[in-house]
Amino acid sequence: MAIMNGQEYIESLRKLKTRVYMFGEKIDDWVDHPMIRPSINCVAATYDAAAEASEQGLAVATSNLTGEKINRFTHIHQSTDDLIKKVKMLRMLGQKTASCFQRCVGMDAFNAEYSTTFEIDEKYGTDYHQRFLEFLKMVQEQDLTVDGAMTDPKGDRSKSPSEQANPDMYVRIVERREDGIVVRGAKAHQTGALNSHWHLFMPTIAMKEADADYAVSFACPSDVEGLYMIYGRQASDTRKLEPGADIDLGNKNFGGQETLVVLDDVFIPNEYVFMCGEWDFAGILVERFAGYHRQSYGGCKVGVGDVIIGAAGLAAEYNGVERASAVRDKLVEMTHLNETLYCCGIACSAEGHPTKAGNYEINMLQANVCKLNVTRLPYEIGRLAEDIAGGLMVTMPSERDMKSDLPVGRNGETIGEICEAYLQGKADVKTESRMRVLRFLENICIGAGAVGYRTESLHGAGSPQAQRIMISRQGSFEAKKRLAKKIAGITEE
C-alpha cells in the first residue's frame, strides 16, 4: 500500500495502542474524541489529496528509493522543482483545512536526516544512512505519518543539556546495549504527535562533547512500550465537548494538535538509531531541519491566510461594508502580506542546491527570512481581519441562545428570535451565515485555531531570535562590504 486515502489512515490509527492522557485521565477512544478528531481530519486531508487525481500533481511524488509513487510527505527532495511543489502543496492544504495538517515536521525531518546521516557515515564509518534508508522505505511503502520530534523541555536555558539539575530535560541515552539503546526524556509542543504512526527524534540544539549522551536521533512507533503523551489544551477547546456544538466551533471539521511526548526508558533497536553520540553533528541536523521547516511556513500559513482573507471579505459583505474604500484597502494589504510570505517560500525553494547525499536543500538564508516574516505578518493579517469583522466577533451570544425557544419578549418572542433580529446584518444574508463567519474568524484569530496560525507562526520552527541568529551567520556582511568598497573606489591599505 504505497498511498492511503483519508479513511484508510483514520482506520490505521485504531490499530495502534497509543497511550494518551487529557485532563488527568487516560483516553482510550482517542480517535473519536471530539477534541482530538478535528486534528485527525486535518491529517486525513493530506492522504485524500494524494488519493485524489486532481491533486496528485502536487501531493504525489516518485520515490528515489523504490521508483514507486508515494505521498509527497514521505518524499526526499530530488530537485528545486520538488522543493517548489512542496510549498505549493502546503498552500493548497492550508486552503482546504484552514489549520495545521501536521505532516510537515516529519517530511522536513526525513530530508534533514537523509543528508546528515550520510555525512556522519562519511566521517566516522558508521552505517546510519543505510539504516535510515531502510526505515524510510518502510514509511513510504506503508504511507506512514511520522512526527518529527525536536523540541526538548530545556529546563534552565542558560545551561547545556549535561549541566541541567534534572538530566532528563533533554532526551538522552541512559543505557547502551549490544542490540540498541535505552532513551529517557521528553519532547514538548509536538505537533501531530498523537496522530502519527511513528516518531523521528532529533537533538534540539548544537552540542558539546560533554553532551554526547544527548546527541541522539532515532525512530520508534507511537505505541512503543514506555512512550506516552499528554494532550495540550487550546483556547476554547472545550466548546467541542458541548452537546450539538456547531456554529460556536468556528472551524468545526479541522484543527491542530500538540502533545507532551514522554520517553520513560524506551528501548530503541540499533536498526532505528541514526545518531548515537556524534555530538559534532547535532547542530548540523538541527539547522537543516529548521531550514526545511522554515521553508514550510511559506506554504501552509499562506494557505490559511487565503481562507482568512476570504472570511474577512465575507464578514465585510455580510456587514454591508464590502464597497467601503477602507475595507478594500485592508483586504489588499492582507493579500500583499500573504503573498510576500509565499514569495519567500518559493524563493528559498528555487534557490535550493544538492547536498553531498544527493537530496536538495533550500537556500538557508532565504528560508530564515521566510520564517522571520512569518513571525510578524500573520499577526497583522489577523489584526486586519478582526478590524474588518468588528467587535461582534467576540461579544455575540452563544449558539444555544440563538437556538433557544425560551420566551422572554413582551410579545412572547423567544431568546432565539431576539438574537435573530438584533444580530442581523444585510437583509438578504441569513443571520446564521453572519454568525458562522464571525465565529470562524474568532476561532482562527484568538481561539483554538490561533495555535495553528498566529502563535505557532511565532514559535514554530524556532522563535524569531533563532532566525535572526541564522541570518546573521549567513548574511555575507563582509562580502557586501567588499561590494561597497569596490563601487565607492575604496582601496585596502
Domain ranges of the chain: 6-283, 287-482
End-to-end CA distance of the chain: 68
Q: HEC states along the chain? A: CCCCCHHHHHHHHHCCCCCEEECCEECCCHHHCCCCHHHHHHHHHHHHHHHCHHHHHHHEEECCCCCCEEEHHHCCCCCHHHHHHHHHHHHHHHHHHCCCCCCHHHHHHHHHHHHHHHHHHHHHCCCHHHHHHHHHHHHHHHCCCEEEECCCCCCCCCCCHHHCCCHHHCCEEEEEECCEEEEEEEEEEEECCCCCCEEEECCCCCCCHHHHHHCEEEEEECCCCCEEEEECCCCCHHHHHCCCCCHHHCCCCCCCCEEEEEEEEEEEEHHHEEEECCHHHHHHHHHHHHHHHHHHHHHHHHHHHHHHHHHHHHHHHHHCCCCCHHHHHHHHHHHHHHHHHHHHHHHHHHCCEECCCCCEECCHHHHHHHHHHHCCHHHHHHHHHHHHHCCHHHHCCCHHHHHCCCECCCCCCEHHHHHHHHCCCCCCCCHHHHHHHHHHHHHHHCCCHHHHHHHHHHHCCCCHHHHHHHHHHHCCHHHHHHHHHHHHCCCCC
Report domain 287-482's class: mainly alpha
Cell digits of residue 41 = 481530519
User: CB under 8 Å to 117, separation ≥6 — which residues?
Assistant: 128, 129, 131, 132, 274, 275, 357
Evaluate the CA torsion angle 448, 453, 458, 463 in order and state its sign: positive
Residue pLDDT, tens place only, 148-167 = 999 999 999 999 999 999 99
The predicted pLDDT at position 450 comes to 77
| Fold topology of 6-283 | Butyryl-CoA Dehydrogenase, subunit A; domain 2 (2.40.110)
The predicted pLDDT at position 56 comes to 77
**Would you please indicate which residues are annotated as catalytic (active-site) residues?**
100, 104, 191, 258, 293, 297, 300, 456
The predicted pLDDT at position 493 comes to 60
The predicted pLDDT at position 488 comes to 95
| Alpha-carbon span 449 to 236, nearest angstrom | 9
| Alpha-carbon span 310 to 389, nearest angstrom | 12
| Alpha-carbon span 396 to 402, nearest angstrom | 10
**Burial of residue 329, with CB atoms counted within 10 A of its CB: 0-12 exposed, 13-18 middle, 19 or more buried:** exposed
Q: pLDDT under 50 in the chain at which residues?
A: none
| Alpha-carbon span 102 to 93, nearest angstrom | 11
The predicted pLDDT at position 1 comes to 62
Which of 115, 284, 144 lies closest to 215 in space, CA to CA? 284
Evaluate the CA torsion angle 457, 463, 469, 473 in order and state its sign: negative
| Alpha-carbon span 402 to 395, nearest angstrom | 13
